[in-house]
Chains A and B, each alone.
Chain A
Amino acid sequence: MTNIPPLLSSDFKTVPVGVSLKSAHYQDIVLDQPSVAFFEAHAENYMVAGGAHRRYLDHIAANYPLSLHGVGMSLGSAERLDRDHLERFKVLVDTYKPVLVSEHLAWSVNNGRYLNDLLPLPYTKESLLIVVDNVKQMQDAIGQGILLENPSSYMSFKSSIMQEVDFLCEVADQAKCGLLLDVNNVYVSACNLGFDAKTYLDAMPAGLVGEIHLAGHAERNIDGASVLIDDHGSVICDDVWDLYAYVINRIGVKPTLVEWDNDIPSLSILMGEANKALSVMEQALADHQTKSFAYA
């Protein structure tokens, strides 16, 4: 097995930009061995007994650092976490030893039914207790700390008593987890719900952010209103690149992932987006040579 370099280097010489691991790119990755700091795999796609997906993941994880990104743990569910799913997740963590593990501030399970979406929850004291408890349970089960990702929102709740970013920080503090800052999600939510994205980013403590996500979104007209949909199906828009530069300059270099889950392009296009993120980070490093950037 190849020696895998650490994802983060304390001398800032390794700028950690990764891309989503998609089955459409397996062959290209194996043949071309693209220069990328890490791949991020959706954990649920690899919860299978065998076959090509697992064989490719075995190969890629032996040659690159791997980040495992869960989409089905349902950390915001009022019901208990699914023990079988926790066990499946633990098996993946034990097998592939990911450098990062992340999940979402969302719910998707209700009465044993899985809704295959990242659904919003009100930011109340009750929700806080539930999410903190579930994050702790997940971390205990897999034996590794996780990063909790901010969601894309299309609606909010009248019963919420705190802002999302404050809720996330409170969960991180009480559950001793880190945060995954999805800049596109902040932008989508800010446009849909009418808040200022930079104010949100300003409130995000640098020390809590362990990873950043970037992705594209779509604009749809729903009942006469323009709504941004977090579909991960296109290039990252200029506004999101600006917000990314803004936050990198504020909180320092962080492992950054370019996500693309629908209308998957060629690997070269995905790598092109990753190289843009690399440029933003390198520019930030050049601008702040004497500044001490925070690492999670």
Chain B
Amino acid sequence: MPDLKDIQNEMAESIIGGRAASDFLTSEIIGDGAGPSGGLQIHINNYQSTLSNHFSVILPVTAAFVGDVFLRTSLKHYLRDEPPSKPQLSEYGGNFSEYLKNYKACETVPFISDLVRLEWSINKVLNAPEQMYPTPETWPTFNFSDLRLSTAIEIIASDYPLLSLWMAGNGQLPAESVNPNSGGQIIAVVRTQDNGVELYSLTQEERSLLKRIDNKTVSESEIPTDFWQTAFTRSLLSIRN
């Protein structure tokens, strides 16, 4: 009688690899109506379809750019090469953008990796820890050292006009108005206080200031007055616990 571990090893290889049942599994499984391969194929389909659907939900703009077939094909390879390591679906896919950097079919659309990272960041900030945001009214009750970069923010520096590309992908800008080679952008993906998500373009100086505030390597007097308004209205900063 085979060990449970052996059976599970063989099934996992078949499901993740999308391969037909091995001789070992075929001899062990009773597939009934659908046969051993048919029974296993249902689980292969479950693995691929549920995870692909998860990505379809969080990558709508990417799908608009590359098309459903391209996305599904790249995901099929990703699911094979980088299966989930945790049962929380919300955490799966964080390195898909890195995976696409070396994905040959993406050579003609090199900005797709950053677009995936942007959409993944939206998913990530939606589930980020709760925090207290300073407002112009409450800010005087805190010390400058209480400030930190919001825990519900992701900052992406791209070689491409990422925010413009994203807006073109979801119809907010005409596609023909965006040239992918027109220069890079720094994007802040921010969860707002009412659980929405906003995307902002940051200057290099704003990015640097945010980083220095978070690292406590800047004094209050060095902060330009107009930066506070930007930081508060855009929920870029929160109060350190």
Interface residues of A (CB under 8 A from B): 44-45, 47-55, 71-74, 77-79, 85, 88, 107-117, 119, 121-122, 124, 126-127, 130, 154-159, 192-194, 222-223, 225-227, 229
Structural contact, B38 and A223, CB atoms closer than 8 A: yes
Give the residue name and chain of the A residue nearest to B31 (CB).
A155
Structural contact, A159 and B2, CB atoms closer than 8 A: yes
Given contacts A155-B36, A193-B32, contact A222 B41 (CB under 8 A): yes
Extra contacts besides A126-B1, A157-B7, A157-B28 (6): CB < 8 Å = A51-B195, A78-B5, A113-B85, A114-B85, A222-B38, A225-B35
Given contacts A154-B42, A155-B39, A223-B35, contact A111 B9 (CB under 8 A): yes
Structural contact, B127 and A53, CB atoms closer than 8 A: yes
Given contacts A51-B191, A154-B42, contact A116 B33 (CB under 8 A): no
Given contacts A55-B195, A157-B30, A223-B34, contact A85 B86 (CB under 8 A): yes
* B38 CB contacts on chain A under 8 angstroms: 154, 222-223, 225, 227
* A78 CB contacts on chain B under 8 angstroms: 3-5, 8
A226→B8 CA distance, assembly (Å): 26
Instruction: Check B40 for interface membership: any CB of A closer than 8 A.
Output: yes
The stretch from B46-54, B177-185, B219-227, B228-236 touching chain A is B46-54
* A110 CB contacts on chain B under 8 angstroms: 8-9, 11-12
Structural contact, B9 and A72, CB atoms closer than 8 A: no
Structural contact, A155 and B40, CB atoms closer than 8 A: yes
* B15 CB contacts on chain A under 8 angstroms: 115, 117, 119
Bin the interface of chain B by size: 35 or more
Q: Give chain B nearest CB distance to A99 CB in angstroms.
A: 23
A116→B30 CA distance, assembly (Å): 22
A222→B34 CA distance, assembly (Å): 6
Interface residues of B (CB under 8 A from A): 1-5, 7-9, 11-12, 15-16, 27-43, 46-47, 50-51, 83-90, 126-131, 152, 191, 195
* B191 CB contacts on chain A under 8 angstroms: 51
* B42 CB contacts on chain A under 8 angstroms: 154, 222, 227, 229
* A111 CB contacts on chain B under 8 angstroms: 9, 12
- Greatest chain B CB density within 10 A among A51, A116, A194 is at A116
Q: Provide 10 A-B residue pairs closer than 8 Å at the C-beta atoms, listed in order of the A residue.
A: A47-B88, A51-B126, A53-B127, A112-B85, A113-B16, A115-B43, A116-B87, A117-B47, A155-B30, A159-B2
Among A50, A114, A127, A226, the residue within 8 A (CB) of B127 is A50
Among A54, A79, A159, A227, the residue within 8 A (CB) of B5 is A79
Give the residue name and chain of the A residue nearest to B32 (CB).
A193
* A55 CB contacts on chain B under 8 angstroms: 195
Among A117, A155, A192, the residue within 8 A (CB) of B46 is A117
Q: Give chain A nearest CB distance to B22 CB in angstroms.
A: 14
A77→B83 CA distance, assembly (Å): 17
Given contacts A114-B87, A154-B42, A229-B42, contact A194 B32 (CB under 8 A): yes
A54→B191 CA distance, assembly (Å): 14
A77→B7 CA distance, assembly (Å): 11
A170→B225 CA distance, assembly (Å): 70
* A121 CB contacts on chain B under 8 angstroms: 4, 7-8
Give the residue name and chain of the B residue nearest to A161 (CB).
B1
* A113 CB contacts on chain B under 8 angstroms: 12, 16, 83-85
Give the residue name and chain of the A residue nearest to B48 (CB).
A116
Structural contact, B16 and A158, CB atoms closer than 8 A: no
* B34 CB contacts on chain A under 8 angstroms: 154-155, 192, 222-223, 225, 227
A111→B1 CA distance, assembly (Å): 21
* B1 CB contacts on chain A under 8 angstroms: 124, 126, 159
Structural contact, A119 and B4, CB atoms closer than 8 A: no
A48→B90 CA distance, assembly (Å): 8
- Greatest chain B CB density within 10 A among A55, A78, A130 is at A78
Structural contact, B12 and A116, CB atoms closer than 8 A: no
Structural contact, B195 and A49, CB atoms closer than 8 A: no
* B4 CB contacts on chain A under 8 angstroms: 78, 121-122, 124, 126-127, 130
Structural contact, B87 and A71, CB atoms closer than 8 A: yes
Given contacts A78-B3, A78-B5, A154-B42, contact A114 B83 (CB under 8 A): yes
A161→B43 CA distance, assembly (Å): 23
A159→B2 CA distance, assembly (Å): 8
Structural contact, B32 and A114, CB atoms closer than 8 A: no
Among B8, B30, B40, B83, the residue within 8 A (CB) of A158 is B30
